[in-house]
Chains A and B, each alone.
Chain A
Amino acid sequence: MTHVATRDAETRLGVELRLEDLRRSYGDLYALDGLSLTLAPGELVALLGPSGCGKTTALRIVAGLDEADSGRVVVDGRDISAVPANKRDMGMVFQAYSLFPHMTTQQNVEFGLKLRGDDRGKRAARAKEMLELVGLSQYAGRYAHQLSGGQQQRVALARALAIEPAVLLLDEPLSALDAKVRAQLRDEIRRVQLEVGTTTLFVTHDQEEALAIADRVGVMSHGRLEQVAAPSELYARPVSRTVAEFVGLMNRLPARVVDGRAVVLGASLGLLEGSISSGEGTALVRPESVEVHAAERGDARVVTVSFLGPITRLRLATSRGDELVAQLASAAAAGLEPGSAVEVGVAETPVLVIDAG
C-alpha cells in the first residue's frame, strides 16, 4: 500500500462537501438509498464498491450530471442541488478519455478559463502552470490522439484543476490504463491533490487504488455506505461481511464464539464489533494473519505456492476440508512446496465472526 502522507488539516484550502440522504432510483432499482457523507475541506475520500453499487451515481449527482430523487448536495454550506452542472464549479475527470479531440492540450486546459472570460495571457499562464503540475508542459501543442492514455488523463486532471474548482470529482480515471501507468498516475493524482488542496471525491472499484490514495474510504453496497473509515481502519476493522470481503483477501474459517472470544483453528481471538455474540459462526481472517509452520505431522497441506516478490501466497487445505490462503514473507515461506505438510494457526488479532450461513 503506497500511502502518501497527508497535509495538516489547517493548511488545506478546500471546502466542505456534504451529501445528505441522497436517493436515486431507476424504476424498481435503487441506485442510491439514503447516502450521506461529509468530506472535510481538502480531504480525499474514495467511494469503493462493486459495479452497480451506486458510487458513480453519487458522483454524477454531485457533479450535476444526474438528479437525485431526494436529498441535498451542500458545498461550503450552500445547497447546490438545483444548480445546473455548468454552474457548479466542479472539476471532473472521467473514466473514458474526455479531451476535446479538436483542441491541443493547452487549448483543452484553457477551455474552462475561456468560458470564465479570462484573458489570453492569464489563460496561457494558468495552463502552463497546470501542465507543469502534471509534468506535461512539453506536450502543450499536442492533440489527444498524439498522447498516451496516461498522458490524456493527466491533461484531463490539469484541465479540471485549471478552473480552481471547489470540488474535484474523479470517476474511475485510472480504469482504462495498464497496471504500471495506473500505479504511477494514482500517486501523481494524490501528489497533485495534496499540492492544490482541493476537496476530492474519488470513485473506484479497485480496493488497492482506494486504500492507497484516500484519506478515508467509503465502501458502498446496494446504494448505501457500509463503512467510511481511514484505509488502515477499514482493513483492520471492517464492520460488516461486505466490507471485509470487498477490501482485501479474506479467509472464511469455522469459528466458535465463547465468552466474548472466538476460537479459530485452535486460537482464541478477540472479536470485532458486528460479530455474533455466541455459538458457531464463520470467522473472516486476513491471509497475513494466518501463521504457517512446516511440520511433518501437521494437519494441513500446501496446495499451491505463488511467489509475489517480497511476499509469497500459499493456498492451504486442512485435514477438516477447509481451504484457506496464507500470506508470508518470502523468506519465511522458503522450503514450502505444494504437498508440504504444515501446521496452521491464526495470529492474535481481533476477527469478525458472522453467521455461518
Chain B
Amino acid sequence: MSVQRRGRLQAFRITVFVALGLFFVVPLLSMLDFSTRVIGGDGRTWVNWQALWTDENLRGAIITSLLLALFTVVLMLVLLLPTMIWVRLRVPQASRLVEFLCLLPLTVPALVIVVGIAPVYAWVTYFLGDSALTLTFAYVVLVLPYAYRALDAGLSAIDVQTLAEAARSLGSGWGTVVTRIIAPNLTSAILSAAFISVALVLGEYTFASLLNFENLQVVIALLGKSDAGAAVAASLASLVFASLLLIAFSFLGRGPRRSKEG
C-alpha cells in the first residue's frame, strides 16, 4: 500500500471516528448542560443530580432497576447456559428448536408480548406479591434472543463436546463439566450476554409501564413531566452507567487471556 493511500485511509478513519464520537458525545454533553443549568439564571447547579439519591421515588426506582438487572442476568444464565450446553452435548437435533424459541421474542413487538402476558402476571402477582421485581420473569423473555446469540457465539468458539468428554473421562459429573470446564471458557460470552441484558433492563419502559410497575424509566418519564432537569440527569446517569459497565465487562472479558500470554 502506498504512503499516500495509507495517509488517505488514516484520514478517513479519523473523520469517521470524530463524526461518530460527536454523534454520541454531543447529545450527552447537551444532557449534562441541561441538567446542570440554573433555570432563569447563570452558573451551574448539581441539584438535579443530587435528586438521584435525595428523591425517594427516583432512588427507589434506581435500586429496583439495578436489582431487576441483577436478577434477570442470574435467572437468564441459570436457565439458558445449562440448556444450551445440554442441547449441544446431548440433543443437538433440538438446537434449531431452542434457537427458534429463544429468538421468538425478537419477532413479537413488546406491546404484543405485554398484552399476552398481562393475564399471566395476574397469577404472578397473586403468588409472589406485587413487587416490581416480578418483572424479572418478563425481562428474561425480553433478553433471551440477545443473550442466546452471545452465548451461542461463545459455545461455537470452543469444542464443547471434546472438553466435556475429556472432563467426564477424568471423573467429572455433569455439574462439574458445566461449572468448572465449559463456563470458565465462556467468560467473554457470559459477560456479553450479561451486559446486553443489563443494558436492556435499565432502558426498559414498555413492560413496566403497561404492567403498572415502577422501574427507572417509568419514574424518569413521570419525573419528566414535573422536573425535566432531574429526569435528564437520571437518564444521563443510566446511560453513563451502562457505558461504564460495557467498558468494564470488555476489560474483564479480555483479562484472563492477556495474563495467559504474559
Contacts and interface: CB of A to CB of B under 8 A. Distances in A.
B171 interface: yes
B170 A111 contact: yes
A112 B170 contact: yes
Interface residues of A, number: 30
B57 interface: no
Q: Is the interface of A mostly helix, strand, loop or mixed?
A: mixed
Contacts of A120: none
A170 to B, nearest CB: 12
B165 A163 contact: no
B173 A86 contact: yes
Interface stretch (B33-41, B99-107, B119-127, B155-163): B155-163
Contacts of B261: 146
A180 interface: no
A85 B260 contact: no
Interface string A141-164: 001011000000000100110010
Nearest to A89: B171
A177 B167 CA distance: 22
B241 to A, nearest CB: 29
Given A101-B185, A146-B260, A116 B163 contact: no
Contacts of A307: none
B181 interface: yes
A116 B185 contact: no
Given A100-B185, A102-B185, A102-B256, A94 B170 contact: no
A85 B169 contact: yes
Contacts, number: 66
A159 B163 CA distance: 13
Q: Is the interface of B mostly helix, strand, loop or mixed?
A: helix
Interface in B146-203: 158-159, 162-163, 165-173, 176, 181, 184-185
A88 B171 CA distance: 8
A63 B169 contact: yes
A159 B170 contact: yes
A92 B172 CA distance: 13
A100 B260 CA distance: 13
Contact of B168 (A65, A91, A100): A65
A320 interface: no
B171 A101 contact: no
A98 interface: yes
A332 interface: no
A105 to B, nearest CB: 12
Nearest to A142: B260
Contact of A86 (B162, B171, B185, B260): B171
B163 A86 contact: no
Contacts of B256: 102
A100 B181 contact: yes
Contact of B184 (A63, A102, A163): A102
B172 A86 contact: yes
A115 interface: yes
A96 B158 contact: no
A7 B180 CA distance: 39
B171 A100 contact: no
Nearest to B260: A143
Given A94-B162, A160-B170, 7 more contacts: A64-B168, A86-B168, A86-B173, A92-B165, A115-B171, A115-B172, A146-B260
The 7 A-B pairs at the shortest CB distance, nearest first, are namely A112-B170, A98-B166, A92-B169, A115-B171, A85-B168, A102-B184, A96-B162
Interface of B: 158-159, 162-163, 165-173, 176, 181, 184-185, 256, 260-261
